[in-house]
C-alpha cells in the first residue's frame, strides 16, 4: 500500500472512529471542484493478486455509508490500519441492492467460469483474493447542484479537474496488479478506462462493458439476463449493443 494512502487513512481515522451518519460527511471532504465534491472513505486497498478488476464510476452514498460503518467497527476492535483497509473493502464496494444484480450479470457472461469458481458471489466472501473492487474515481464523489449533493453518474471528461484527480489513482491501482483484466460497468466507465489505459499494457486487457448493476438500469439488466424479450423493450434500450457485449465478454 502506498504510504500516502496509509497517511490519508490515518488523517481521517479519528473522524471515521466516531462515524454515525453518512449525511454528516463534511469533515471527510477531500476535494471541492464546485460542481463535484469528493469525500474520503477507506477504499484504498488494492489486491496485488487480483485476476479481475471490477470497475464502477464511484462509490455512492450507500457504499460510503457501509464502508465507513465497517471501518469504524474495525477501528474499535483494535485492528491495524492495513488490516482495516483490506477487510472493509469487500464490505463497502458495490454494496447494497446493486451487488445482487452485479453477481447475476457476471455469472451470466461466464466470469465465474473464467475465474474457476462456482459463482461470482464468492468474490465478496471466500474468493476475495481473485478480485480488486474499484471505481474510476476511487473515493465517493457527489454532483453538486443548487447546493445539494447527489450521487455522481456522469462522464469523467479528459482535461477536467475530476479526470486529473482520478486517472493517476487508477494507474496506481493497475500497476499493483499487472496480471488483471478490467471489467467496466457501463459505457461511462469504459470510455474513461479507454482514455486512461491507452498506450499501456492494460489496453489489451480491457473487456467490453457490462451493464451497470444500478437499479436505474433495470430494463437493460432484465434483457441481459433473459427476463425480458427484445419486443418488449423501450426505445431507451439498445438490445444489439447488449447482445454484442455479452458475446464479446464470453470470449475471454
Is residue 88 included in any domain, yes or no? yes
Q: What is the pLDDT of residue 248?
A: 85
Cell of 236: 431507451
Is residue 116 included in any domain, yes or no? no
Q: What is the pLDDT of residue 131?
A: 95
Is residue 111 included in any domain, yes or no? no
Query: Residue ranges of the chain with pLDDT lower than 50?
Result: 1-6
Q: What is the pLDDT of residue 89?
A: 84
Is residue 231 included in any domain, yes or no? no
* 185: DSSP letter: B
Domain span holding position 161: 3-96+130-211
For the chain, state the CA radius of gyration: 18
Domain total in the chain: 1
* 23: DSSP letter: T
26: Cβ–Cβ under 8 A, 6 or more apart, which residues?
none
E strand segments, 81-227: 131-135, 141-145, 148-151, 181-184
Is residue 101 included in any domain, yes or no? no
Question: Taking a C-beta distance cutoff of 8 angstroms, is the pair 87, 66 a contact?
Answer: no
Is residue 107 included in any domain, yes or no? no
Q: What is the pLDDT of residue 218?
A: 92
Question: Taking a C-beta distance cutoff of 8 angstroms, is the pair 54, 132 a contact?
Answer: yes
Distance CA 221, CA 238 (A): 12
Residue 143 pairs in a beta bridge with: 36, 150
Is residue 251 included in any domain, yes or no? no
Q: What is the pLDDT of residue 2?
A: 41
Q: What is the pLDDT of residue 3?
A: 40
Question: Taking a C-beta distance cutoff of 8 angstroms, is the pair 188, 151 a contact?
Answer: no
Q: Tens digits of per-residue pLDDT, 190-199?
A: 999 999 999 9
Is residue 106 included in any domain, yes or no? no
Amino acid at each position: 500500500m502506498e504510504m500516502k494512502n496509509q497517511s490519508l487513512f490515518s488523517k481521517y481515522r479519528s473522524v471515521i472512529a466516531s462515524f454515525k451518519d453518512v449525511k454528516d460527511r463534511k469533515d471527510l471532504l477531500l476535494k471541492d471542484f464546485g460542481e463535484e465534491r469528493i469525500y474520503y472513505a477507506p477504499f484504498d486497498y488494492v489486491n496485488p493478486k487480483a485476476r479481475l478488476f471490477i470497475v464502477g464510476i464511484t462509490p455512492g452514498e450507500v457504499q460510503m455509508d457501509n464502508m465507513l460503518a465497517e471501518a469504524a467497527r474495525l477501528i474499535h476492535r483494535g485492528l491495524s490500519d492495513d488490516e482495516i483497509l483490506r477487510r472493509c473493502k469487500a464490505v463497502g464496494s458495490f454494496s447494497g441492492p446493486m451487488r445482487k444484480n452485479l453477481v447475476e450479470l457476471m455469472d451470466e457472461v461466464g466470469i465465474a467460469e473464467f475465474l474457476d469458481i462456482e459463482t461470482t458471489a464468492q468474490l465478496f466472501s471466500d474468493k476475495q483474493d481473485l478480485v480488486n473492487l474499484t471505481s474510476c474515481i476511487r473515493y465517493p464523489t457527489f454532483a453538486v447542484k443548487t447546493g445539494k449533493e447527489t450521487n455522481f453518474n456522469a462522464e469523467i471528461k479528459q482535461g477536467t479537474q475530476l479526470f486529473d484527480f482520478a486517472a493517476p489513482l487508477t494507474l496506481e491501482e493497475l500497476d499493483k496488479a499487472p496480471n488483471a483484466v478490467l471489467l467496466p460497468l457501463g459505457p461511462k466507465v469504459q470510455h474513461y478506462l479507454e482514455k486512461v489505459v491507452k498506450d499501456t499494457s492494460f489496453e489489451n486487457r480491457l473487456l467490453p462493458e457490462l451493464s451497470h448493476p444500478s437499479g436505474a438500469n433495470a430494463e437493460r439488466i432484465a434483457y441481459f439476463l433473459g427476463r425480458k424479450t427484445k419486443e418488449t423493450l423501450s426505445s431507451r434500450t439498445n438490445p444489439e449493443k447488449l447482445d454484442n457485449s455479452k458475446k464479446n465478454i464470453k470470449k475471454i
